[in-house]
């Protein structure tokens, strides 16, 4: 089954299995991404996002057992992750995630995105695949992020 949900700036195409709860976890990932986008917009406008702003995600994330593993194998708990996000959104000129695909299996959601980051007035695209792991309470306990981006001019593989 495939469903398409569109918010003001984010379109999420969700492909799910046929179970009765199919799509519920993918919906929670879409909610997390939309909250992040709103906080990036707030940081861009006023640079006053604070750690407590991330409490809006408490219904989606198991903050006590959460771990995020980034593209450099950099692991962080909820406190470190929200501190990093706070720093990032207050210095960001923009972030626009375009969700290309979402796949949901029992307890896990995979989201492939084309993300546009704006720095110095220039938009830099990069591509990510994130894996969201959920507990029995349907809260995110782990995010693993894999990224691709264009090689800087003048560098060879």
- Please, what's the largest Cα pairwise distance for the chain? 51
Assign residue 81 the CATH number of its domain: 3.10.450.50
Instruction: Give the pLDDT of residue 154.
Output: 62
Residue 128 structural domain: 2-43+59-149
115-142 confidence digits (pLDDT tens) = 888 888 888 888 999 999 999 999 999 9
Instruction: Give the pLDDT of residue 43.
Output: 82
* Tokens at 40, concatenated: 């990036």
With respect to residue 102, please indicate whether it lies within any of the assigned structural domains.
Answer: yes
Domain count, the chain: 1
Q: Rounded to an integer, what distance in angstroms lies between the CA atom of residue 151 and that of residue 149?
A: 6
With respect to residue 34, please indicate whether it lies within any of the assigned structural domains.
Answer: yes
Tell how strand 67-69 and strand 75-76 pair up.
antiparallel
Q: Average pLDDT of 20-33?
A: 82
CB of 117 closer than 8 Å to CB of 89: no
Under the banding of pLDDT at 50, 70 and 90, the label for residue 152 is low
With respect to residue 50, please indicate whether it lies within any of the assigned structural domains.
Answer: no
Return the residue matching tokens 């720093």.
87
With respect to residue 72, please indicate whether it lies within any of the assigned structural domains.
Answer: yes
Task: Write down how long the chain is.
Answer: 157
With respect to residue 106, please indicate whether it lies within any of the assigned structural domains.
Answer: yes
With respect to residue 133, please indicate whether it lies within any of the assigned structural domains.
Answer: yes
With respect to residue 145, please indicate whether it lies within any of the assigned structural domains.
Answer: yes
Which residues, in sequence order, are bridge partners of residue 140?
A: 61, 134
45-70 confidence digits (pLDDT tens) = 887 888 888 888 888 999 999 999 99
Under the banding of pLDDT at 50, 70 and 90, the label for residue 16 is very low
105-115 confidence digits (pLDDT tens) = 999 999 999 98
With respect to residue 28, please indicate whether it lies within any of the assigned structural domains.
Answer: yes
């Amino acid at each position: 089954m495939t469903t398409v949900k569109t918010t003001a700036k984010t379109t999420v195409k969700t492909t799910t299995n046929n179970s009765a709860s199919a799509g519920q976890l993918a919906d929670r990932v879409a909610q997390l991404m939309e909250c992040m986008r709103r906080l990036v917009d707030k940081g861009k406008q006023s640079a006053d996002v604070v750690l407590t702003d991330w409490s809006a995600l408490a219904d989606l994330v198991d903050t006590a057992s959460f771990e995020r593993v980034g593209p450099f194998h950099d692991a962080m708990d909820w406190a470190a992750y929200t501190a990093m996000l706070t720093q990032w959104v207050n210095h960001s000129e923009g972030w626009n995630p375009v969700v290309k695909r979402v796949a949901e299996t029992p307890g896990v959601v995979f989201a492939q995105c084309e993300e546009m980051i704006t720095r110095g007035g220039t938009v830099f695209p990069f591509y990510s695949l994130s894996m969201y792991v959920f507990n029995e309470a349907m809260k995110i306990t782990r995010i693993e992020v894999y990224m691709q981006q264009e090689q800087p001019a003048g560098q060879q593989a």
